[in-house]
C-alpha cells in the first residue's frame, strides 16, 4: 500500500472515529429518555428510568429502570442496568427485534423481545429471557408468586409467544432452578414456620391466564416436596386461584410421606395434609 493510500485510510478512520465521538457526546439523552417513556407509558403500564445513554453498536443503555402496571399496581421489573440493542434489519421486517441484557436483583439476564412495532410494545409477539443468580427476596414479581418471605437464588428461562393483539391468545414456559432457599408457611407444620431447601426446580407452562405446574420440587434437610397442578392467574397476582397437589417426605429414619393439597389464593393459601 502506497504512503498516499495509507494517509487516506488513516484520515478516513480518524473522521469516522471523531464522528462517533461527537454523536455520543451530543446525543440528546434527555429527549430520547422522555420520548421512550411516553411511547411505553399507557393506561396499563408505566416505564421510569434515571438516565439513558447510547450503547454501541446500535443500542441504548438505561439505568435504574422500573416497569409497573397501573391497575392493579404490580411491579413487573426493576433493574440496575438495561441494555437494548436494535438490529439493522428491523427496517426490512414487519416486526421490531430488540436484544436485551442487563443487571437486576443482584444477578444478570439476557434475551430478546420481538415487537409488532416500536409504537406498540405490548403484547410482544415473541420473547425469551435467560437469568442468573437472581435474588428472590429482591424480586417483587417472584415474591408475588412464591410468597413475601421467600429467599434464595434463582437461575432460569422464560419464554413467551402471542398473536401481538391485546387480549389475544398468549402462551409460554417457565423454568426455575432454586438454591439456598426458604419458604415461609402460613400455618406451622410439624413445628416448622418455614421450609428450607438446598435446591429446587419449577417447570411450568402457561396459556392465557392458566399456569400449569408440571413440577415444583424441592430438596432440603427437613422436608422434600413435590407438587403439580395449576394456578388460575388473576389481574392482581395475589388473587390467583391455587389448585395444587403432591407429596411431602419428612426427614428421619422412616422418611414418612404425606399427601398434600393446596387451594385458596396466592395471598391466602389453604393446605390440607393427608397421611
Per the structure, the complete domain to which residue 71 belongs is given by 1-107
Evaluate if residue 27 carries a pLDDT over 70. Answer: no
Q: Does residue 29 lie in a domain region?
A: yes
Dihedral (Cα; 132, 209, 73, 265), 10-degree rounding: -90
pLDDT digits (tens, 9 = 90+) for 189-200: 777 777 888 999
251 within a domain of the structure (yes/no):
no
Residue-wise pLDDT for 222-257, tens only, equals: 888 899 999 998 877 788 899 999 998 887 666 788
State which of 16-20, 62-66, 253-257 shows the largest mean pLDDT: 62-66
Backbone φ, ψ for residue 26 (5° rounding) = -95, 5
User: Is pLDDT above 50 for 167?
Assistant: yes
Q: What is the pLDDT of residue 177?
A: 94
Task: Please indicate, yes or no, if residue 88 is contained in any of the structural domains.
Answer: yes
**Mean pLDDT over the full length of the chain:** 81
Q: Count of domains in the chain?
A: 1
Report the chain's terminal Cα–Cα distance, integer Å.
85
Residue 4 clears pLDDT 70, i.e. is over it? no
pLDDT of 192: 75
Q: What pLDDT is stored for residue 13 in this prediction?
A: 58
Q: Is the pLDDT of residue 22 over 50?
A: no
The pLDDT of residue 91 is 63
Asked if the structure places residue 143 within a domain, the reply is: no
Residue at 3 is within a domain: yes
Residue 15 domain flag: yes
Residue 137 lies in a domain: no
Q: Which of 271, 243, 248, 250 is nearest to 259 (CA)?
A: 248
Q: State the pLDDT at residue 73.
A: 65
Asked whether residue 218 is assigned to any structural domain, the reply reads no
Does the pLDDT value for residue 8 go beyond 80? Answer: no
Q: How far is CA 186 from the centre of its chain?
A: 26
Amino acid at each position: 500500500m502506497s504512503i498516499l493510500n495509507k494517509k487516506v485510510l488513516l484520515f478516513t478512520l480518524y473522521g469516522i472515529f471523531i464522528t462517533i465521538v461527537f454523536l455520543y457526546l451530543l446525543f440528546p439523552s434527555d429527549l430520547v429518555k422522555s420520548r421512550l417513556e411516553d411511547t411505553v407509558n399507557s393506561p396499563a403500564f408505566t416505564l421510569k428510568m434515571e438516565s439513558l445513554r447510547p450503547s454501541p453498536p446500535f443500542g441504548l443503555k438505561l439505568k435504574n429502570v422500573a416497569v409497573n402496571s397501573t391497575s392493579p399496581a404490580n411491579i413487573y421489573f426493576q433493574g440496575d442496568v438495561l441494555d437494548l440493542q436494535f438490529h439493522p434489519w428491523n427496517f426490512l421486517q414487519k416486526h421490531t427485534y430488540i436484544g436485551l441484557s442487563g443487571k437486576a436483583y443482584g444477578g444478570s439476564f439476557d434475551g430478546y423481545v420481538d415487537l409488532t412495532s416500536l409504537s406498540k410494545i405490548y403484547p410482544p409477539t415473541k420473547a425469551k429471557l435467560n437469568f442468573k443468580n437472581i435474588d428472590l427476596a429482591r424480586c417483587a414479581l417472584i415474591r408475588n408468586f412464591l410468597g413475601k418471605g421467600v429467599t434464595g437464588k434463582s437461575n432460569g428461562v422464560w419464554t413467551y409467544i402471542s398473536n401481538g393483539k391485546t387480549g389475544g391468545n398468549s402462551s409460554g414456559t417457565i423454568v426455575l432452578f432454586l438454591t439456598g432457599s426458604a419458604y415461609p408457611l402460613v400455618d406451622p407444620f410439624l413445628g416448622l414456620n418455614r421450609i428450607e431447601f438446598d435446591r429446587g426446580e419449577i417447570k411450568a407452562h402457561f396459556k392465557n391466564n392458566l399456569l400449569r405446574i408440571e413440577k415444583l420440587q424441592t430438596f432440603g434437610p427437613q422436608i422434600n416436596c413435590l407438587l403439580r397442578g395449576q394456578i388460575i392467574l388473576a389481574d392482581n397476582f395475589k388473587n390467583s386461584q391455587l389448585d395444587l397437589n403432591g407429596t411431602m417426605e419428612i426427614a428421619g429414619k422412616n422418611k414418612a410421606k404425606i399427601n398434600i393439597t393446596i387451594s385458596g389464593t396466592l395471598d391466602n393459601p389453604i393446605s390440607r395434609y393427608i397421611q
